[in-house]
Amino acid sequence: MQNTAAPTPTHCPYCALQCGMNLAPVEGGGVEVRERTDFPVNRGALCGKGRTAPAVLDRGARLTEPLVRGADGELAPASWEDALDRVASALAGTRAEHGADAVGVFGGGGLTNEKAYTLGKFARVALGTSQIDYNGRFCMSSAAAAGTRAFGLDRGLPFPLEDVPRTGCVILVGSNPAETMPPSLRYFTELRERGGTLIVVDPRRTRTAEQADLHIAPRPGTDLALALGLLHLVVAEGRVDEEYVAARTTGWEEARAAAMAHWPEYVERITGVPVPQLREVVRMFCEPEAAMVLTARGPEQQSKGTDTVGAWINLCLATGRPGRPYSGYGCLTGQGNGQGGREHGQKADQLPGYRKLDDPEARRHVAGVWGVDPDSLPGPGRSAYELLDALGTDVRALLLMGSNPVVSAPRAAHVEERIRSLDFLAVADVVLSETAALADVVLPVTQWAEETGTTTSLEGRVLLRRRAVTPPDGVRGDLYVMRELAARLGVEKGFSDDPEEVFEELRRASAGGLADYSGITYRRLAAENGVFWPAPEPREAGAAPHPGTPRLFLDRFAHPDGRARFVPVAHRASAEEPDEEYPLLLTTGRVVSQYQSGAQTRRVAELNAAAPGPFVELHPRLAERLGVAEGDRLAVVSRRGRAVAPARITGAIRPDTVFMPFHWYGEGRVNTLTNPALDPVSRMPEFKTCAVRVERSSDAAGGAGGAGGAGAVSGRTSPRP
């Protein structure tokens, strides 16, 4: 008999596009993905990750019962009562013996808004610790800091993606959406079909760069000099929108003076981009009435990422782009709820609604919603890498949800060592990730299709994910975990496992904040294709709901005077430059068939077949100099460690640069090499550039190089020292 149950409209669990999809039941159990054309962002299109997402719902791919480490050092099944009792006892005992800040909490940019909100509340109310941050710090924190500095407000895109094809020119800096978020590529294709131009800035000739009207390949770590050189030419060629600058900005003279110190020939020497190309970029960007700059991890994951993004924003402001139709600056957020995840309290310095934790009025408002004394709330804590670096010393116990830092953190071997040195580690996750395999207690939690909750896309569009399937017996929700732990820690009220009830509280907590969700309800989200924040609740009873704000800054910027801020910046070198011992630059990124740390996608056979393991991409001239052939095993060595993977020889990369993707553990873990040098403002690590050398591995030629699938995880459950 054919199953005729109606499909459930929902959203993909992976990137920040949050593509719409339908989940339809299939005979024999489970669901399959079907096209959902009514959602305007992807219009039915899905990448391979989204299409195969139900594979991780399978019992064989995920955790289905709590695990507790026994006296023999092995993880073994346990009841939920025993597992939660052990977690609560360890957290309470650490707090009693060493103080509240000896307990840390680490979250993730894939958690729903309800989970992110509750996790921040749990840390500050149930545990009383300041030590909370999340992996979104590694995503777009530099763009967030620069956007807040310039505009008074950070939202990844201050306009919907539908505006991209209607502009005249897009400069895409350090982004490869053809592989990282494929359904978005149609917007850039439509841009060119309508007569607009696409400029891609990337050290590699990526699939996205191949479709650009102009590809420029600067040396990694020099995006700041590049943006300053372009602004210099804008001034020198008389292309500044003087009327806009006078009416809508402040700080121009200082920013102008800083840019004029970066003349074109000087910038060419730093970046390797020829002066004629610099001039062509300026011409293509300035001639249309409307234009955009979109940045991603390339310029942001640097120890000067905030200033780098700020320089690109200065270029936009000087040419009169932000706050005008089909124009401006935006950031392509990466993680599924990277935007919402940082708006509601997971970040070390934030409270819900994008409020600052050290703002007395913000503390008073949120404490009132939570029913606690504002003075009881701890102050700001450590940023993500600093928190991980403190594990085993100042921070003795850690609760981790929705993250896999053993693979994703910079200087990952050191981070793994710090995690192993903890007195106690509890991990709540869908799968037994490399980090979960080191835990004392592993809590199996529900995932996207098994729960209802909201996410916020890269456009600032708040969306409702709907439960489509029943989770396996033995699996509980993250909200349940936090409610039960809070009760065991003596806080029996204020933590609900009903996501709609949590969202209602989030609405009140965010009311009046920059990220105001107070006018958004589950009922409204169920009837609409998302609502763009800010969407405050109407002040008058019975008034029509706020329509949401798809386009920010059309009338004024979010600073008190309504003006945008130029911020003067100057080029400076990366934290680590090549030298005689480490003569090359390493840059990192993603491939289309894997996602983030690979904890879930490496459990999908189709995706593993397309991308079975890491590789080292290098230029033919470098390969010839090293005597390397395609597929030879190479060792890439930095001051922090060594990674081994097969060679992939291509003319699509600069001869002074090598590239490795970051989805794998084992000998091919590229984050063993990356530099944790931090941006002084955003505290973003410098993932995108470090000095390395490349040498032939002593192992035999060929081979996959590194841990490919999920099977390697189960053997790494030895007790932590």
Do the domain assignments include residue 549? no
For 304-335, how does the pLDDT look when each residue is reduced to its tens digit (9 = 90+)?
Answer: 999 999 999 999 999 999 999 999 999 998 88
Q: Is the pLDDT of residue 710 over 90?
A: no
Assess whether 317 and 227 both reside in one domain: yes
Do the domain assignments include residue 554? no
Query: Token digits for 363?
Result: 């503390």
Which amino acid type is present at position 470? T
Assess whether 306 and 285 both reside in one domain: yes
Half-sphere exposure of 197 (CA within 13 A, CB side): 18
Length of the chain: 721
Give the number of domains in the chain.
4
Do the domain assignments include residue 542? no
Q: Is the pLDDT of residue 721 over 60?
A: no
For 603-617, how does the pLDDT look when each residue is reduced to its tens digit (9 = 90+)?
Answer: 999 999 999 999 999
Assess whether 381 and 233 both reside in one domain: no
Residue 704: per-residue pLDDT: 35
Can you give the CATH number for the domain in which 99 is found?
A: 3.40.50.740
Residue 29: per-residue pLDDT: 83
* Spatial distance between the Cα atoms of 714 and 390, rounded to a whole number of angstroms: 27
Assess whether 601 and 650 both reside in one domain: yes
- Please tell me whether residue 628 adopts helix, strand or coil conformation: coil
Residue 139 has a CB neighbour count (10 Å cut-off) of: 28
| Cβ atoms of 511 and 538 closer than 8 Å | no
CA quadruple 243, 246, 249, 250: dihedral sign: positive
Nearest to 486 by CA among 92, 68, 78: 92
Do the domain assignments include residue 429? yes
Domain boundary among 517, 532, 547: 532
Assess whether 188 and 304 both reside in one domain: yes
Do the domain assignments include residue 491? yes
For 7-29, how does the pLDDT look when each residue is reduced to its tens digit (9 = 90+)?
Answer: 999 999 999 999 999 999 998 88
Question: What is the C-alpha end-to-end distance of the chain, expressed in Å?
Answer: 56
Residue 27: per-residue pLDDT: 85
The pLDDT of 430-435, averaged and rounded, is 97
Do the domain assignments include residue 597? yes
Assess whether 227 and 103 both reside in one domain: no
Residue 462: per-residue pLDDT: 98
For 636-678, how does the pLDDT look when each residue is reduced to its tens digit (9 = 90+)?
Answer: 999 999 999 999 999 999 999 999 999 999 999 999 999 999 9
Q: Is the pLDDT of residue 36 over 50?
A: yes
Do the domain assignments include residue 528? yes
For 337-353, how does the pLDDT look when each residue is reduced to its tens digit (9 = 90+)?
Answer: 999 998 999 999 999 99
The pLDDT of 447-452, averaged and rounded, is 96
Can you give the CATH number for the domain in which 33 is found?
A: 2.20.25.90
Buried b or exposed e, range 691-713, using 16+ CB within 10 angstroms: bbbbeebeeeeebbbbbbbbebb
Q: Compute the radius of gyration of the chain from its Cα atoms.
A: 25
Task: Give me the domain span that covers residue 222.
Answer: 141-331
* Spatial distance between the Cα atoms of 299 and 224, rounded to a whole number of angstroms: 8
Assess whether 510 and 613 both reside in one domain: no
For 233-277, how does the pLDDT look when each residue is reduced to its tens digit (9 = 90+)?
Answer: 999 999 999 999 999 999 999 999 999 999 999 999 999 999 999
pLDDT classification of 699: cutoffs 50, 70, 90? low
Residue 603: per-residue pLDDT: 93
pLDDT classification of 542: cutoffs 50, 70, 90? confident
Q: What percent of the chain has pLDDT over 70?
A: 96
| Cβ atoms of 126 and 485 closer than 8 Å | yes
Q: Is the pLDDT of residue 707 over 80?
A: no
Domain boundary among 532, 566, 596: 532
| Cβ atoms of 605 and 658 closer than 8 Å | no
The pLDDT of 138-152, averaged and rounded, is 95
**pTM of the shown model:** 0.95
Assess whether 367 and 507 both reside in one domain: yes
Query: Token digits for 706?
Result: 């590194």
The pLDDT of 507-514, averaged and rounded, is 97
Can you give the CATH number for the domain in which 637 is found?
A: 2.40.40.20
Residue 3: per-residue pLDDT: 52
Assess whether 389 and 501 both reside in one domain: yes
Nearest to 341 by CA among 482, 535, 144, 178: 144
| Cβ atoms of 131 and 103 closer than 8 Å | yes
Average pLDDT, the chain: 94
| Cβ atoms of 281 and 171 closer than 8 Å | yes
H-helix or E-strand containing 290? none
Q: Is the pLDDT of residue 701 over 80?
A: no
Q: Looking at the DSSP assignment, which residues form a beta bridge with residue 645?
A: 634
Assess whether 227 and 314 both reside in one domain: yes
Do the domain assignments include residue 717? no
Domain boundary among 498, 532, 566: 532
Assess whether 361 and 504 both reside in one domain: yes
Among 169-173, 284-288, 331-335, 659-663, the range scoring the smallest mean pLDDT is: 331-335
Q: Is the pLDDT of residue 89 over 60?
A: yes
Assess whether 77 and 147 both reside in one domain: no
